[in-house]
Amino acid sequence: MNSPAFPSAATPATTASGIRPSRFTLSCIVPAYNEVSHIARFIAELHAAVRPLADEVEIIAINDGSRDATAAEIERVAGQYGVCLLDLSRNFGKEAALTAGLEGARGDCVLIIDSDFQHPFGTIGPMIERWKAGVDMIYGVRTDRDDEHWAKRAGTKAFYALMSRGSAVPIPPDAGDFRLMDRRVADAILQLPERNRFMKGLYAWVGFRSESIEFEVRERESGVSSFNFKALRRLAMTGLVAFTDLPLKAVRMAGAFISVLAALYGLWIVFERVCWGEAIPGFATVAASIMFFAGVQMFSIGIIGEYLGRVYTEVKRRPTYIVGRRVDCSPLAGRPHHAGFEPNGIGARG
């Protein structure tokens, strides 16, 4: 993909003063995974909520390798509600699905919203009003996390504390994927080539004028979230490795600290032997020291291995996702896609 690092021209939806015109098109990106029980109703209600807000509305629904009939349900209502279905060839994860949606979107502004009814439709209108006033990206911030387990709240707090210390780019701690962005913001995000994508970090890294808007998380309509502890841990590791070298610095500092302690302990043993005639500690001390330092070394190698593993993934240059099937009933079907998107068949980032 031989495109410039950033788009050089303003989109048609942006005037010279930064104020957007009243006539514009909207793309709604909806990632879905095993949502067959309510996805058709979600699309219908989302369309009803956003259709009065824009000239033309398209819904980009990404079926991320669902094991149920989610794709069939989306296809069933695609013609009625102007849906473009991107049916990925397997489950690539939410970050890849969002990337596919951004590359397939053709609107002047882009809305990202989950398909489980937890993001309130009533917040979309105020988001669009702020966008019309010149704000490039409006991200939703949840008012509280009382619905989450205490362990998840503690882990989230610790993760964002590490990110704030180690990353040069501030990432809002309670902001999620629920957001509205100008076309040029979406295009800038798509210029970032990494395969291991931490979208919250990418949103912040591209900059632009951004504002937050609070919303209350609604109850999930049905089923349970597939975003379990394992997925959260994997995403957190991706974020740490992609946006901070703090773990490497911590290993370096720990190694230096332990080396100093070991040297001081060695001097103390010599001092005891020379000055007081104390016997040098025997096998137990040596064995404990070897096991301790071996553990520190293995941990350090593991941290370095995480970074090398990400580098290995990047240099292979495999696509972030593969579109196995595409059904396009969008009213914006005549508009061009992003340069990296191939609409006919197994399109992917390359």
Per-residue pLDDT reduced to its tens digit, 257-267: 777 777 777 67
Please name which of 181, 24, 164 lies closest in space to residue 102, comparing C-alpha atoms. Answer: 181
Per-residue pLDDT at 15 exceeds 50: no
**What's the pLDDT at 205?**
80
- Express each pLDDT in 52-92 by its tens digit: 988 888 999 999 888 888 888 898 888 889 899 999 988 88
Two structure tokens written together for 14: 């942006």
**Confidence band of 330 (pLDDT split at 50, 70, 90):** confident
- Express each pLDDT in 97-107 by its tens digit: 888 888 888 88
What percentage of the chain has pLDDT greater than the value 70? Answer: 64
**Confidence band of 110 (pLDDT split at 50, 70, 90):** very high
**What's the pLDDT at 4?**
37
Contact 110, 180 (CB under 8 A): yes
Per-residue pLDDT at 204 exceeds 70: yes
Better pLDDT: 205 or 32: 32
**What's the pLDDT at 224?**
57
Two structure tokens written together for 49: 């909520």
**Confidence band of 9 (pLDDT split at 50, 70, 90):** very low
**CA-based torsion, 228, 230, 231, 232: positive or negative:** positive
Using CA atoms, how far apart are residues 348 and 198, in angstroms rounded to an integer? Answer: 18
Average pLDDT, the chain: 75
Per-residue pLDDT at 212 exceeds 60: yes
CATH architecture of 25-226+318-328: Alpha-Beta Complex (3.90)
Domain ranges of the chain: 25-226+318-328, 246-316
DSSP state of 219: P
Residue 184, burial from CB neighbour count under 10 angstroms (0-12, 13-18, 19+): buried
25-51 average pLDDT score = 90
pTM: 0.70
